[in-house]
Amino acid sequence: MENARPHQMEAPAAAQLAAALRENCERALCGKPQVVARAVETLIAGGHLLLEDVPGVGKTTLAAALARSVAGCFRRIQFTSDLLPSDVIGAALPELSEGRPTGSLIFHPGPLFANVVLADEINRASPKTQSALLEAMAEGHVTVDGELHPLPQPFFVVATQNPAEHAGTHALPESQLDRFHARISIGYPSPEDEAAVLRNDPGATALPRLEAVVTPAQLLALRACAGRVKFDDALIAYLLAIVAETREHEAVRIGASTRAALALRHAAQAHALVDGRDFVIPEDVKDLASDVLAHRLVFDAHAHSRASSEEARWILQEILERVPVPL
């Protein structure tokens, strides 16, 4: 599978293409424009997305809509308790000639070798299998028997998971969570939107008819364009002040890492691009801080080890109110 080659793209064209991505996904997920926007921004920022919510609210529908919107290779991996790492990344198997082994090994790629990978119910697999994604998500390649195998580019993982208290789930390791650019929840729809879902069933009608609106090369160009969005030094200082507060908060044992700070910067740049701007404003950083940082916080050692989504967001909101916003 060959990697796509990006071409140059200007900000207005990028914003138009991002809008097309959003509109395409909104056809399948009714009444959740902000959730769709965050998902598209994560895709453009070059990160990976974790959708966490109770079953039946549209996590898999949104993930599938994102995948169908990109004209690349798509694979879905259903994570189960018996799934092995080799089932995800592939394995080196003996080469056969006329039915006999030659003594050589040939790598057979697993379903991870795609442009868009849906890791469905990722926390139903064992931590060992979950960790098989670490190298791929962080570095864009996997290593099998000492040999490095590059993944196709662009490479985007969108994972779904049920809340940890649901039966048969395993909490994602901290290192795995840190590889996800953002964690978002969909939530229940409003009564009006739920009635529209019952009338039209977009997951069964609109989703199968979705067509790709962006090629892999265009997606790479979108990401490059987002990387050129201006991010002033004053905003860098603001972002770092937020990150520093997560490390010093009395309820937090482990705060946001440098990787998390970079993810927030990239998210803010993508948010500005989607909004039609070639510069970041403080509101971009502030609006995205919870989605990018909350899942990376670890509570005090005497409290629950991992902050729940609601608790972590409350802490982030408190921090955002404490840190002065640059003028």
Confidence of residue 4 (pLDDT cuts 50, 70, 90): low
What topology does CATH give the domain 229-327?
Helicase, Ruva Protein; domain 3 (1.10.8)
Confidence of residue 303 (pLDDT cuts 50, 70, 90): very low
Report d(CA 289, CA 319) in Å as an integer.
10
Q: CATH 1.10.8.80 in the chain, residues?
A: 229-327
> Which class is 1-192+213-228 in CATH?
alpha beta
Assess whether pLDDT exceeds 90 at residue 263.
Answer: yes
pLDDT over 70, % of the chain: 92
Q: What pLDDT score does 301 carry?
A: 52
Provide the β-strand partners of residue 52: 161
Choose the weakest-confidence range: 9-18, 119-128, 246-255, 307-316. Answer: 307-316
Assess whether pLDDT exceeds 90 at residue 135.
Answer: no
Contact of 129 with 83, CB cutoff 8 Å = yes
What are the pLDDT digits (tens) for 74-131? 999 999 889 999 999 998 887 777 667 777 788 899 999 999 999 998 888 888 888 8
Q: What pLDDT score does 304 carry?
A: 43
Provide the β-strand partners of residue 142: 149
Assess whether pLDDT exceeds 50 at residue 199.
Answer: yes
DSSP annotation string for 151-209: PPSS-EEEEEE--TTSTT--PPPHHHHHT-SEEE---PPPHHHHHHHHHH-HHHHHHHH
Assess whether pLDDT exceeds 60 at residue 2.
Answer: no
Assess whether pLDDT exceeds 50 at residue 266.
Answer: yes
Q: What pLDDT score does 105 carry?
A: 81
Average pLDDT over the chain reads 87
pTM above the 0.75 mark? yes
Choose the weakest-confidence range: 50-64, 205-219, 264-278, 302-316. Answer: 302-316
Arithmetic mean of pLDDT, 172-189:
87
Assess whether pLDDT exceeds 50 at residue 302.
Answer: no
Q: What pLDDT score does 8 carry?
A: 74
Sign of CA dihedral 315, 321, 323, 327: positive
* Of 168-182, 195-209, 280-294, highest mean pLDDT: 280-294
Report d(CA 278, CA 259) in Å as an integer.
23
What are the pLDDT digits (tens) for 38-61? 999 999 999 999 998 888 888 889
- Residues 202-218 as b/e (b if ≥16 CB within 10 A, e otherwise) read bbeebbeebebbbbbbb
Q: CATH 3.40.50.300 in the chain, residues?
A: 1-192+213-228
- The label of the residue with tokens 């395993």 reads 170
Confidence of residue 3 (pLDDT cuts 50, 70, 90): low
